[in-house]
Amino acid sequence: MTSSTDDPLVTTDWLAARLDDPKVKVIDASFKLPGVLPLPVDDYRSAHLPGAVFFDVDHIADPNDPRPHMFPGAEQFARNVAALGISSVDTVVAYDSGGWVAAPRAWWMFLAFGHPKVKVLDGGLKKWLREGRPTHSGEVVPKPGKFQARLDPGYVRSQQQLAGNLATHAEQVVDARPRPRFEGTAAEPRPGLRPGHIPGSRNVPYAELFDANTGAMKSLDDLRQAFKGAGVDLAKPIVTTCGSGVSALVVTLALYRLGVRGSALYDGSWSEWGLPDGPPVATGAA
């Protein structure tokens, strides 16, 4: 079970009471698939939580890696985050549009780079707006912060590690993509990728972990049932994966809420594994 201090989620009430706290920094980490308009940064400029800065998942990434938004080096992460006005002493609260796609990605990056004081706003902008809370428009220009980062490599996995896992089955692989994409019956949004999933992986679609109406994450019992129904053993090591290493972290967040620690992200995810010359793929149900 997750104690309240250890819960990665915070409520809209909690955040509303702390918007004036200079040590609480709010980031909008909304993300959309390539080609979907308006761009998340334009949505941010139209309406964001008071004082929030935009955390660009595609920009806070390794610029020299052809794969989408791969983890940057620690030096770059520290530089990008400090430019957002965030310092190592601050508590960071990440939110997204309320579709739960990318706030958990930002949360996991902060944890991976050694910053434990990071939370996710339950329900995101969607819940905030439903409750009639205020938003601002335009850009926030913060005073640069002082941030130190050091990557713990245990938070991420490479294709090589996942390929090795095909033989050892040392880690369970949980895929967050919608069922038709996992089973290989629907095309990937990124062109040129093979359909299907990593052999032996389980499917827990990220969209099934939150309430589509309120935007809030489901209860601990519902989350537990989602993993159990997919054949995932919460007592054994887990790696999460998805299309490009973003929505997988919704699954990671749910696992974290259930007390699971030490899980990892396959950062390359299907945008790497699904390439034409990639490792073996499986299709159909898990």
Say whether pLDDT at 73 is over 50.
yes
Say whether pLDDT at 185 is over 90.
yes
The region of weakest confidence among 5-9, 61-65, 218-222, 243-247 is 5-9
Non-local CB neighbours of 255 within 8 Å, separated by 6+ positions: 227, 234, 238, 240, 263
Average pLDDT of the chain, as a whole number: 95
Say whether pLDDT at 157 is over 90.
yes
pLDDT at 1: 46
The CATH code for residues 9-151 is 3.40.250.10
Question: What is the value of pTM for the model shown?
Answer: 0.96
CA angle (115, 206, 92) in 5-degree steps: 20
pLDDT at 195: 97
H and E: helices and strands count for the chain: 10, 10
CA distance 179 to 205: 7
pLDDT in tens, 129-150: 999 999 999 999 999 999 999 9
pLDDT at 238: 98
CA distance 154 to 149: 15
pLDDT in tens, 95-111: 999 877 799 999 999 99
pLDDT at 101: 79
In the chain, the percentage of residues whose pLDDT exceeds 70 is 98
CA distance 235 to 165: 18
Say whether pLDDT at 30 is over 50.
yes
Range 214-242 average pLDDT? 97
Of residues 139, 144, 84, the one with CA closest to residue 110: 84
Say whether pLDDT at 70 is over 60.
yes
Say whether pLDDT at 180 is over 50.
yes
Say whether pLDDT at 4 is over 70.
no
Of 61, 242, 255, 286, catalytic = 242
Residues of the chain with CATH 3.40.250.10: 9-151, 154-273
Non-local CB neighbours of 105 within 8 Å, separated by 6+ positions: 29, 31, 57, 245, 246, 249
Considering the segment(s) 154-273 as one domain, its CATH architecture is 3-Layer(aba) Sandwich (3.40)
145 catalytically annotated: no
CB atoms inside a 10 Å sphere around CB 179? 16
Res. 212 pLDDT band, cuts 50 70 90:
confident
The angle that helices 248-257 and 220-229 make with each other, rounded to 10 degrees, is: 120
Q: φ, ψ for residue 140 (rounded to 5)?
A: -105, 125
